């Protein structure tokens, strides 16, 4: 996998994708979006990877938004292609079978916030800033921001952020439910990896089932969601990990989960 705009590493079941255009504050261009989609496919195909972390290179930015130099050259059809390409990658990110953590280490603006919104949860450094400032360019968010933000923080808060284009601090983002944890900048990756390691030790089938049921369940009524949960529970019971987990409990030892999504 040849990557020019991303860094990729994997160790102990945890993969890390780092946005790596520090001179442009890791801004999203067409090439980077294509590489992101390619990298996500590679992660999905690797049964050994149990958790994915996304972060940005440098000390200033996670992703500072779309590359305005490229965006300014777009006509309407090219703009539609660019938005669709971004949504394709971000939709793929949200539908990953494994947990995905955004480690936001600076500016997460526009597409950066939209990427964070598609992750399962967000840890942020205390200097991180979030926002959807497309309105200041005469545009609207194009990578799913109008949809995901309102679902996560509520429609009125989403309208205020999108209509004004304002940036909010990591602490304010935590208060409205956009961020799970705020850390000192120097501690961010250690905290993220601590949580990732804890999740990587869990059963992969159960993690996938929990993620799928939560994500699908919020779109339906409670009774339908609970029926989905029953089916997910039954599927988990058929897995190697469920056998290991229950046996380990009865034997009073720590479970060692080795099951894959194929069994």
* In the predicted structure, residue 73 carries a pLDDT above the cut 60: yes
pTM of the model: 0.94
Q: How confident is the model at residue 260 (pLDDT cuts 50, 70, 90)?
A: confident
Predicted pLDDT at 32: 96
Predicted pLDDT at 4: 93
Average of per-residue pLDDT across 151-162: 97
Average of per-residue pLDDT across 134-147: 96
Tell me the C-alpha distance between 105 and 109, whole Å. 12
Q: Is 191 a residue of the active site? A: no
Tell me the C-alpha distance between 110 and 133, whole Å. 6
Q: What are phi and psi of 155, to 5 degrees?
A: -70, -40
* In the predicted structure, residue 171 carries a pLDDT above the cut 90: yes
204-250, which class in CATH?
Answer: mainly alpha
Query: Which listed residue (59, 114, 191, 240) is catalytic?
Result: 114
31-55 pLDDT, tens digit per residue, is 999 999 999 999 999 999 999 999 9
Domain boundaries, the chain: 6-200, 204-250
Predicted pLDDT at 232: 95
Predicted pLDDT at 258: 84
Average of per-residue pLDDT across 19-34: 95
157-168 pLDDT, tens digit per residue, is 999 999 999 999
Predicted pLDDT at 59: 84
Q: Is 114 a residue of the active site? A: yes
Average of per-residue pLDDT across 102-113: 97
For the domain made up of 6-200, give the CATH fold.
2-enoyl-CoA Hydratase; Chain A, domain 1 (3.90.226)
Tell me the C-alpha distance between 147 and 140, whole Å. 11
* In the predicted structure, residue 263 carries a pLDDT above the cut 60: no
Query: Which listed residue (2, 70, 126, 134) is catalytic?
Result: 134
Q: How confident is the model at residue 149 (pLDDT cuts 50, 70, 90)?
A: very high
Tell me the C-alpha distance between 167 and 154, whole Å. 17
Q: How confident is the model at residue 208 (pLDDT cuts 50, 70, 90)?
A: very high
Predicted pLDDT at 2: 82
């Amino acid at each position: 996998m040849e990557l020019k705009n991303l860094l990729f590493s994997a160790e102990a079941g945890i993969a890390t994708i780092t946005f790596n255009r520090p001179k442009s504050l890791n801004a999203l261009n067409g090439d980077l979006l294509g590489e992101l989609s390619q990298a996500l496919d590679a992660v999905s195909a690797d049964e050994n990877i149990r958790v994915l972390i996304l972060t940005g290179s440098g000390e200033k930015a996670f992703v500072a938004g779309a590359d305005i130099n490229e965006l300014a050259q777009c006509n309407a059809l090219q703009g539609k292609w660019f938005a669709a390409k971004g949504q394709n990658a971000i939709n793929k990110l949200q539908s990953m079978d494994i947990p995905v953590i955004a480690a936001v280490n600076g500016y997460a603006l526009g597409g950066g916030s939209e990427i964070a919104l598609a992750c399962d949860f967000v840890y942020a450094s205390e200097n991180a800033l979030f926002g959807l400032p497309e309105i200041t360019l005469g545009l609207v968010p194009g990578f799913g921001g109008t949809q995901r933000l309102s679902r996560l923080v509520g429609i009125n808060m989403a309208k205020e952020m999108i209509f004004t284009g304002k940036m909010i601090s990591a602490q304010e983002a935590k208060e409205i439910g956009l961020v799970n944890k705020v850390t000192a900048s120097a501690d961010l990756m250690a905290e993220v990896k601590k949580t990732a390691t804890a999740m990587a030790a869990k059963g992969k089938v159960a993690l996938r089932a929990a993620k799928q049921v939560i994500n699908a369940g919020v779109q339906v009524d409670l009774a339908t969601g609970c029926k989905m949960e029953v089916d997910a529970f039954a599927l988990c019971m058929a897995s190697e990990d469920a056998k290991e987990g229950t046996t380990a409990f009865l034997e009073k030892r720590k479970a060692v989960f080795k099951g894959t999504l194929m069994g």
